[in-house]
Structure 1
Amino acid sequence: MARQPNTVKTITGQTINSINIKKLKCLNDLNELTFTPHALTAILGPNGSGKSSILHALAGVYMPEKDFPGEDNKLGDFFPRSPDSEWNGSSFLISMSYRRGRELINDEKKSYGKSEARGSRWVPIYARRPLREVYYLGIDKCVPMIESEKKNSVQYVTSNVTNALVETILNKASQILNKRYTSLNSHLQPNGKKMIGVEANGMRYSSLSMSAGEQKIFLILETVLKADKYALILIDEIDLLLHDSALKRLIEVLYERATDKNIQIIFTTHREVITTMSHMVNIRHILNLPDRTYCFEDTKPDSILRLTGERKTSVEIYVEDDVAASVVSKICSSLKASKYVNIIKYGASSNAFTILGGALLRNEDVSRNIYILDGDVYRTVEQKENAINKVISGDDRRAVDLRGNALSKISEFILPEGFNPERHIHSMLTEINDNELDNDYQEIIDTARTIVFEQDAHNYLSKIIDFLGIERSVGLARIVDLASKHPSWEIFTSQVVGWLTPIIEDLREIDA
């Protein structure tokens, strides 16, 4: 009796939580690269930083389940043996979650790589890889059809394709490219080769006449819209051949589909416009330095520039965002220390530990550096130590000393339990004694008092600035200047002031 094909998947709910790379091509000791909380992850970095290698590693993690769709990509396909390298010693660790029936397996760790021995094989054995529907869209798949067509006269038979999927593809392509597509056609050449064609604005044409960006959009849409729940889709250089507005609309379409179907989409890009979409995309920046590779989460450009550039001031103060930068700027102004200080925004709080750890491992002088946390996360010493341990690992004396030094360089704002800086500053504004304030300040206080509750606490100050209709940096400076008159300001800034004051006094003595 013939075997009946499987109709129900044995494994569902697949998610890659993170990847740690010990060694893979140019990637060395890459700290944890996470793929949460959003369904979409963008990997940024300069040419040669290892972005594509990360996608190649992820492409070979799974194999498709029997009788179900998906590509069977193997690590050996992306890292083939050659006279120059067999990729021996390659090693990376994947954290994954999935369901087997009703059982939830969370944060399971699986190791991949090759031993140092010549002729060794990639592990795990290909047939023992976990199951998942995976698609990899490399740059080669986005080469315009006309580039690969050698004939100067092409014959084909056209047939119209209509179904719900096609209608969705046409609708989304129209949305992304701002062009009304009305039909999708299939063209069959005498040699059996197929290509697509479309009709738009009354004109019918095949993929031979499509722009490269147009072809790419249809390829991505077809792949993503056909994929089943919990699929993994990897796209190399998603921005290639697309202008910014089309790219942003594409990301919005992918986010909607991925969120609805629990699909993970991980892509590489050079386009900084992606960083403005961090509300729907995990932003991960890869930086390769001589000693190791670093991953930064939702980072700011100036922190990356500092890592690759030279110190420009005596004191460097690292902060999470523009609110923290405004607070530190006010502190420096009060201490008459602004000329000595460079304030650098680093983005997500985890980046403070990565940047600090990298500086220490490179033997940089950080005696006049301070890395300030907002104070709402990593509140305990244990939490800070755990974060440092992820960047500076090892049990040797140097690693132990560096971890101790790192902990002394972390400072934070002092906040009430459950508050972030925005909410705390807002509370100061509403409580301040306004009897002797001028009208400029009074306007801020009156506006703050109309804002009683915000679901996202980061919006407390943004709402004030939006209401006043002023430029954000100006608004933050005025708000922080007013908040500094509240009695709680001294406690709020005490750690930073306590660290900065003696350093500034020493610098003044040197100047004198």
Structure 2
Amino acid sequence: MADYSQQKIRKVYINLLKNLKEVEIDFSGSSLTALIGINGSGKSTILHALACCYKPINENRTYNYKFSQFFTPTVDSLWQGSRFTMYHDYRIGSRVHEDSETTFSKNADRWSPKYDRRVARDVFYIGINTGVPKIEEEKRQSFIRYSTTLLDDATSRVIKEKAGYIMNRDYSSYNLHSDSKGKYIGVEYNQAKYSSLSMSAGEQRIFKILSAVYNAPKNSLILIDEIDLLLHVFALKKLVEILYHRAEDKKLQIVFTTHSINILNYNEFINIRHLYNTSDKTICLTDTKPDTIYRMTGESTRPIDLFVEDDLAFTIVNQITESLNMSRYVNVTRYGAAQNCFTTAAGMMLSNKLTSECLFILDGDMYVSDEDKIDRVNSALTGSAQKSSEMRNKLVNHITQFNLPDGFAPEFFIHSLLKELTITHQIVETAKEIQKVDNTHKYVDDIIERMNYQSKEVGLSKIIDVASQNEKWEHYIYPIKNWLKALRNDLSEEIPNEPVFQST
């Protein structure tokens, strides 16, 4: 066997695989990737496909997963026409392969390429069957007599400590029980010994996951379906933290699925990939917010939908709608990373939910030119047919941005507006005290911290109220305010007209 190392999946492009169509999933960034989405969005399918992309380095150590295990042919489903491409790095001896392409497909009876032509890598798949309590798998009802071996090697001691941290239990021992018909793990806690036959399903699964992660060789791929299964929110948080640090230390790549919205709280060290299926294709959003998919699939009780990047833009847009007396007509949704603007808009268009009352708003520091926007729209809406071209042209018209000066980040611009004001106000004085920060977001965050506001939401609202007194404010918000004013008279005759600000 050749000396394989440094294996890493960069991204996967799926042409067709079960219900996944024309979607790219990017795994760059963190060593942990979370796949989220509603039931049936294809999360588990991605794990199943990844499990089959490699051959084992050592078949005595890891299982040799094959497509027939997860994509078993039936009378209804032969899986012919399935096709996806993996872009990955690996090293054989001294030779490094970067961004190599391997396409997997099934056009006839067999999948290609042949299994022995796959790159070698240790793969560990932990399915939802590991959430079944061990006692429910045990068929015997008579007395079970097993022998006990203390697991006291270095790795087992770490697993015991980490499991204890997650479960908030000070385990005094970690054991292996064996009899003629099987093996069971066991622990001792609070002077009581018990095997996995007596463990809760969640406790049992934690040991299963930790055992795979801490016994996995360097550069392994670990796939976990429904990582939050049977775990309460605090245990999940601790487990994810442990997985991240172990993955970083051992160069592991861990991909898991989850239905837990709480996972979005950890997007600083996890790749969040949000899947959503339309009738034409699958959309993959990055670092999205909890309400984005709801807005793509749910019904709105307000006629106007505005989509923004983050909390700052959310606050600014709300200030605009309040100034126009339109708040009761407008729903504002955060979509997260700037690139999500285009994929979310495309998803809504393909779902026939992109109405004339929808506007996507960029901060103004990325994808500023029409050419940049068109490039991103072309990536989000593929196809060469006339219909696709018309849809792309329509989509561009639903995207705008704040009039942010060149070279400015939004937070820095707000900070500069405050510093220019000559009024006497604590926020203005605090802004003038802040001369330099190590991250542009901190120009606003530092003001909130120094002012000791009870929440970020309150702080942002007060800061924007003051910044809006700068004479440059109207030019900054003009594209959004002007768009809203064009709709205003159709909504209510009670809303008074205002002088139209002319953009410079």
Same fold (TM over 0.5): yes
Q: Bigger CA drift: 276-285 or 326-335? A: 326-335
1:360 aligns with 2:315: no
Task: Report the residue type matching 2:356 in the other structure.
Answer: S
1:150–1:70 Cα change, 3 Å: closer
1:65–1:284 Cα change, 3 Å: same
13, 34, 53: which one aligns with 2:26: 34
Q: How does 1:37-436 map to 2 (within 5 A)?
A: 37-66=29-58, 69-115=61-107, 117=108, 120-152=109-141, 153-191=143-181, 193-364=182-353, 366-434=355-423
Q: How does 1:478-489 map to 2 (within 5 A)?
A: 478-489=462-473
Q: Bigger CA drift: 493-502 or 154-163? A: 493-502
CA–CA separation in structure 2 for the residues paired with 1:188 and 1:470: 56
Aligned to 1:3: none
CA–CA separation in structure 2 for the residues paired with 1:458 and 1:102: 42
CA–CA separation in structure 2 for the residues paired with 1:366 and 1:449: 43
CA–CA separation in structure 1 for the residues paired with 2:95 and 2:372: 30
Count residues with an aligned counterpart: 494
Q: Bigger CA drift: 200-209 or 232-241? A: 200-209
CA–CA separation in structure 2 for the residues paired with 1:103 and 1:479: 55
468, 471, 481: which one aligns with 2:455: 471
Residue-by-residue CA offset, 1:279-338 (whole Å, 9 max, x unaligned): 111122222334433222222232211221224333221111221011112222333333
State the shift of 1:102 in Å: 4.6
Q: Bigger CA drift: 251-260 or 140-149? A: 140-149
Residue-by-residue CA offset, 1:11-55 (whole Å, 9 max, x unaligned): 3222112222222222233x3222231111111122222211111
Q: Secondary structure at the match of 2:197?
A: helix
Task: Report the residue type matching 2:149 in the other structure.
Answer: S
Q: Secondary structure at the match of 1:37?
A: coil
Residue-by-residue CA offset, 1:376-414 (whole Å, 9 max, x unaligned): 222343332232122211111111121122222211123
Aligned to 2:477: 493
The answer (yes or no) to whether the contact 1:465–1:475 under 8 Å persists in 2 is: yes
Q: Secondary structure at the match of 2:307?
A: strand
CA–CA separation in structure 1 for the residues paired with 2:371 and 2:460: 32
Task: Report the residue type matching 1:444 in the other structure.
Answer: I
1:24 aligns with 2:8: no
State the shift of 1:249 in Å: 0.4
Residue-by-residue CA offset, 1:179-210 (whole Å, 9 max, x unaligned): 1112221212033x222111222222211111
Residue-by-residue CA offset, 1:462-487 (whole Å, 9 max, x unaligned): 23223323222222111111111123
Q: Secondary structure at the match of 1:188?
A: strand
Q: Bigger CA drift: 95-104 or 327-336? A: 95-104
CA–CA separation in structure 1 for the residues paired with 2:429 and 2:166: 43
The answer (yes or no) to whether the contact 2:104–2:112 under 8 Å persists in 1 is: yes
1:377–1:99 Cα change, 3 Å: farther
The answer (yes or no) to whether the contact 1:70–1:132 under 8 Å persists in 2 is: no
Task: Report the residue type matching 2:31 in the other structure.
Answer: A
Residue-by-residue CA offset, 1:241-300 (whole Å, 9 max, x unaligned): 111111100001001111122211111111111111111111222223344332222222
The answer (yes or no) to whether the contact 1:283–1:298 under 8 Å persists in 2 is: yes
Residue-by-residue CA offset, 1:415-446 (whole Å, 9 max, x unaligned): 34443212221222223222xx4xxxx22223
Q: Secondary structure at the match of 1:342?
A: strand
The answer (yes or no) to whether the contact 1:18–1:32 under 8 Å persists in 2 is: yes
1:460 aligns with 2:460: no
CA–CA separation in structure 2 for the residues paired with 1:105 and 1:450: 51
Q: Secondary structure at the match of 2:404?
A: coil
Aligned to 2:4: 11
Task: Report the residue type matching 1:174 in the other structure.
Answer: G
1:466–1:394 Cα change, 3 Å: same
CA–CA separation in structure 2 for the residues paired with 1:424 and 1:137: 48
Q: Structure 2: 5+ residue runs without aligned partners?
A: 497-504
Q: Secondary structure at the match of 1:131?
A: coil
State the shift of 1:459 in Å: 3.0
The answer (yes or no) to whether the contact 2:128–2:225 under 8 Å persists in 1 is: yes
1:489–1:70 Cα change, 3 Å: farther
TM score, norm. by length of structure 1: 0.90
CA–CA separation in structure 1 for the residues paired with 2:195 and 2:351: 55
Q: Bigger CA drift: 363-372 or 31-40? A: 363-372
TM score, norm. by length of structure 2: 0.92
CA–CA separation in structure 2 for the residues paired with 1:106 and 1:499: 46
Task: Report the residue type matching 2:455 in the other structure.
Answer: E
Q: Bigger CA drift: 216-225 or 461-470? A: 461-470
CA–CA separation in structure 1 for the residues paired with 2:354 and 2:236: 41
